Amino acid sequence: MMNWIIEEKGFYPDKAVSNGNKFLIGNGYMGVRGTLEEFTKKELTAVNLAGVYDRVGNGWREPLNAPNGLYTVLKVDGKVYNLPDVSPVEHSIWLDYRKAVFSRETTWQTPKGKVTVKAERFASLDEPHLLAMKYCVSADYNANIEIITGIDADIWDINGPHYDAFSFLQEEVCLGVIGTTHESKDKVCVIEGCQTHFHSEQQVKSDDKHIMRSLSFITEPLKTFEMNKWVAVYTSKDANDFKQQAKLLINHHMEKGYQETKDVHIRKWEKKWAVSEVVIEGDDEAMEALNYSLYHLHSIAPRHADSLSIAARGLSGQTYKGAVFWDTEMFMLDFFLYTEPAVARTLLKYRTDTLEGAKNKAKGYGYDGAFYAWESQEGGYDACSDYNVTDVFTGRPMRTYFKDKQIHISSAIVYGIMRYVDLTGDHSILEEGGAETIIECAKFYYSLLLKKVNKDYYELHDVIGPDEYHERVNNNGYSNRMAKFTFEKAMYVFDLLKLLSANTAERIENMYHIEELRQKFADAAKCLYIPGPDEDGVIEQFDGYKELEDVSVDEVKSRILNEKEYWGGAYGVATHTQIIKQADVVTWLTLFPNDFPKEILLKNWHYYEPRTEHGSSLSACMYALLACRTGMAEKAYPFFLKSARADIDEGGKQWAGLIYIGGTHPAAAGGAYMTAINGFGGLYFEDEKVKVKSQLPSTWKKLQFKVWYRGELYQVNQTHDEITIKKCDI
């Protein structure tokens, strides 16, 4: 029986930031960091909103954190008892990730006796705009208690402040804060309602950053005094009458009561787990870590929208500018395709709906077609800076070329759209912009092609592959192979036109000279240079890679003079070596394992893995997947566990200079899932059937999971001796 609980006993102030990620709750609309009720921006408390951005001055544009409507402070006999200011006698926090409920229990010793706070909260999966909390106080004597609870608008921002003004409201049982954003003058509205199961004296006070209610009462020994709170969060992007909607939501749930609100939330989660839970018999650590990873993916799925994607750090804060990277299509998409195809469609609609932004970016560089944003925000705006890294020695920003040269981003969009079409059989996404997206991405790559006068093939120069430590290289194998894939899929779309609606076919035919493009793309796919294995069976990552210094990762580490210095760029310690940041050629071979014989895949795995720093959480899963596909399940296992435990284990990069870059790792979570299902489980699809080639680790006795394929739900059970695949009900 799986535990479904992660817990930390004892209070460790230095863990407040990492616990904010580890104990995160969310529902796709917003994410609430796993901080305590009394914590403030000093502990990086945040209610992070999906897809709503703001920019102040020359700072990075980033998503909004809403005012915190869960803020609660405890006074006992006139003294504030808060963490971290007053040390507790006992303290523990835990997350039930089956139910998506975060809880805490803290006991303090006062001069007269002990006082205990027990609290729990959740972000409703039933109502995306709703947070709910239960806060209980008990004492072993007649304590004079004051609970001060309300809304904290003194918000943690990385590149803010993002609100120019706040207005406060008090109406009947509700308190509220409405903030006006700096850039677009959007409104963010937080309304809270409170109920107590005891008699208390109440007062309301406010200042320029808070509106709070004070609840005063005297405890009876060993009796629990319970307060319930509901918090509604809306923006002016959600509704014109956002304030009214928020109040209606609060009043509705106050009438229903806390327990019913919680019960409905839990039932919604049970429906998700009924499809997505992965059972691993014989390895409790792997099963718990994997399902914890899936909890994080569920928590950030934008079910409230028809067209919205997932940021690289999910909803754990403003890090990485809340931008959407290739992580979504290449690492998270399979989970949603297999367990909740409607969410996968929403993620891809975000890309088709931001096609104009990608076309504008391409045009800005003098290219044709669609060059998607490396760090995508609203409308496909590329939030990636020209200076993403600060030189730790000079303190000056360093020019980087992530935005300009990581051309493989457009192929990731094509890959995601086609994977959706293949696995769902739903062509409607092509009719709603997907067809144009694929064609425009192919046009982009065609406009990049170069041909030397003495060569009969095309090349792609001056790019950055997945390995960001080596910038502006020629013929990066991964980028070239994905461009070839894009040309092929554009031609496939032309062939599909007869199966699409007459309106779609006519629209595409009017937009493009199809036969001319077909010939161009066919020529490009045939003649684009794809590097092959050398005499050692190794595929060179890019032109001249093997001429670089061949040195170990440990040797490169020994050369750094400052622990925060960047390994890549013009002067990075890895730039002139064969040490790479993350899987590059290995990612190519993972996606297209039939490109070469198994022995070539093996040789490249063994060549590149010792030369990979794994400086990205995206890296480990690709090595795990290729290891599985070459019969090395035992070598895959530690890479799988590294991905699955990315948000459980500590030690990840939290800061880059003075900028906080921590947060959750949803791409690693998706990578762990792909390793379990596609790798160890060996799942694949052929002749419109679900099939598996099992590669279970020796300690796993059984692997069980469900997947959606072409509108049908299948359950797969496999042991070392037996495999069953059958259709099942939801």
Active site residues: 468
Rounded alpha-carbon distances, angstroms, from residue 446 to 147, 364, 526, 529, 670: 65, 16, 12, 13, 31
- Which residues pair with residue 199 across a beta bridge? none
Nearest in space to 181 (alpha carbons), one of 162, 208, 166 = 162
Phi, psi dihedrals of residue 282, rounded to the nearest 5°: 105, -5
Give the max Cα distance, the chain.
Answer: 92
Residues 6+ apart with CB under 8 A from 576: 548, 549
Helix (H/G/I), strand (E/B), else coil: 598: helix
- CA separation, residue 368 to residues 3, 34, 361, 476, 481 (Å): 53, 45, 10, 21, 20
494's CB contacts (< 8 A; 6+ apart) are 514, 517, 518
Phi-psi region of 353 (alpha: psi -120 to 50; beta: other; left: phi over 0): alpha
Extract the tokens encoding 355: 């096609």
Rounded to 5 degrees, what angle do the CA atoms 580, 581, 583 make? 85
> DSSP state, 458?
B
**Dihedral, 438, 441, 447, 448 alpha carbons, nearest 10:** -130
Burial of 54-85, coded b for 16+ CB within 10 Å and e otherwise, reads: bbbeeebbbbbbbbbbbbbbbbbbeeebbbbe
How many Cα atoms are found within 13 Å in the side-chain-facing hemisphere of 427? 12
Per the structure block, which two tokens stand in for 16?
């407040």
**φ, ψ for residue 122, nearest 5 deg:** -155, 155
Amino acid in the structure at residue 126: D
Q: Are strands 163-171 and 47-54 parallel, antiparallel or unpaired?
A: unpaired
3-class SS letters over 187-209: EEEEEEEEEECCCCEEEEEECCC
